[in-house]
Amino acid sequence: MNPSSNLVFIGPTGAGKTSLGRRVAERFGLHFIDLDVLISELSGSSIAELFEHLGEKGFRGHESQALAQALRADGVLVATGAGAVLSAANRQLMAERAFVVHLHVSVTAQLERLSRDRTRPLLQRHDRAQVLQDMAVQRDPLYRQLGELCLDTDQYIPAEATAQLVLQLAAHWHQLTGPTPQ
């Protein structure tokens, strides 16, 4: 297991990376970084604008740069975008610089959680269920390979998922790094 003082949350869209990340970062006294927010700050453009003007490949370049910047620090919790694991270089950087937590969610739960969301460029289609299923087929093996700890968030509300993560991190990651949950 990685003894880094950093945490990285990976997983599908709607798994809770951002909402749980904020809560867990606060509990362990870590600086929280939402990678999509950092990408927007560094590029001066929204995620949707980057996709529109540069396409997914151009966006992924910005994503890799932002991830590298975020993980230069110590004592951070980075909530990645769902596709950050697609790059081998990103996966290597995460594995080297952080303890990686895989938050899993089923396609059924994703559809429910994202039913009103109109901000995610890759989901702006009529066949959302198929898009999410296709993403799962491609990305789930990468999440499972990279994650040192996995929590299925389907069955939990955010407060319960946070409690579960804090307990699991205290048992697996906390003993390596020493942060004290608050």
Residue list, annotated binding site for ATP: 14-19, 120
The residues with which 9 forms a beta bridge, in sequence order, are 79, 101
Report the SS3 class of residue 77: strand
> Which phi and psi (to 5°) does residue 6 adopt?
-100, 150
| Residue position matching structure tokens 């995460």 | 94
Q: Which residues are annotated as a binding site for substrate?
A: 36, 60, 139
Q: Which residues are annotated as a binding site for Mg(2+)?
A: 18
The residues with which 150 forms a beta bridge, in sequence order, are 102
The answer to whether the beta carbons of residues 76 and 102 sit under 8 Å apart is: no
Report the SS3 class of residue 111: helix
The answer to whether the beta carbons of residues 111 and 132 sit under 8 Å apart is: yes
Q: Which residues are annotated as a binding site?
A: 14-19, 36, 60, 120, 139
